[in-house]
Amino acid sequence: MRKLWLGFAQVATILFAALYLVSLFRAEPPLPRGEVVTVKEEAALPVPVSAPGAAASYSGAAKKAMPAVVNIYTTKQVARRLSPEEELLRRFYGDQFNNRPEAAMSLGSGVIVSANGYVLTNNHVIEGADEIAVVVPGREPVGARVVGTDPETDLAVLKVQAEKLPTITFGNPDRLQVGDVVLAIGNPFGVGQTVTQGIVSATGRTRLGISTFENFIQTDAAINPGNSGGALVDTNGDLVGVNTAIFSKTEGSVGIGFAVPVSLAKQVMEQIIRQGRVERGWIGVQAQDIAPEAADSGRRGPVKGALIAGVMRGAPAEKAGLRRGDIVVAINGKPIADVTDLINLTAALKPGERGEFTVLREGREAKLTMEAGTRPRQPRP
Encode pLDDT of 199-210 as tens digits: 999 998 888 888
pLDDT band at 64 (very low <50, low <70, confident <90, very high): very high
Intra-chain end-to-end CA distance of the chain, in Å = 46
Domains and CATH numbers, the chain: 13-26+33-39+60-160 (2.40.10.10), 170-275 (2.40.10.10), 281-374 (2.30.42.10)
Cβ–Cβ < 8 Å for 183, 199 = no
pLDDT band at 87 (very low <50, low <70, confident <90, very high): low
Look up the pTM and report it.
Answer: 0.76
3-state secondary structure of 378: coil
CA 155 – CA 274 distance, rounded (Å): 15
**Angle (CA) 75 80 82, round 5°:** 165
Active site residues: 124, 154, 228
- What integer pLDDT is reported at residue 19 of this predicted model? 46
Cβ–Cβ < 8 Å for 164, 156 = no
Q: Which helix (H) or strand (E) holds 367?
A: strand 364-371
Cβ–Cβ < 8 Å for 19, 12 = no
- What integer pLDDT is reported at residue 27 of this predicted model? 44
- Assign residue 279 a region (left: φ > 0; alpha: ψ between -120 and 50; beta: otherwise): beta
- Of the two residues 101 and 340, the one the predictor is more confident about is 340
CA 168 – CA 114 distance, rounded (Å): 8
Q: Is the pLDDT of residue 51 over 50?
A: no
Q: Residue by residue, what is the 3-state secondary structure of 210-275?
A: CCCCCCEEEECCCCCCCCCCCEEECCCCCEEEEEEEECCCCCCCCCCEEEEEHHHHHHHHHHHHHH
- What integer pLDDT is reported at residue 149 of this predicted model? 95
Q: Is the pLDDT of residue 65 over 50?
A: yes
Q: Is the pLDDT of residue 2 over 50?
A: no
Encode pLDDT of 235-260 as tens digits: 999 999 999 998 877 777 788 999 99
- Of the two residues 134 and 174, the one the predictor is more confident about is 134
Encode pLDDT of 314-370 as tens digits: 999 999 999 999 999 999 999 999 998 999 999 999 999 999 999 999 889 999 999
**Quick one: DSSP state of residue 292?**
T
Encode pLDDT of 152-182 as tens digits: 999 999 999 988 999 999 999 889 999 999 9
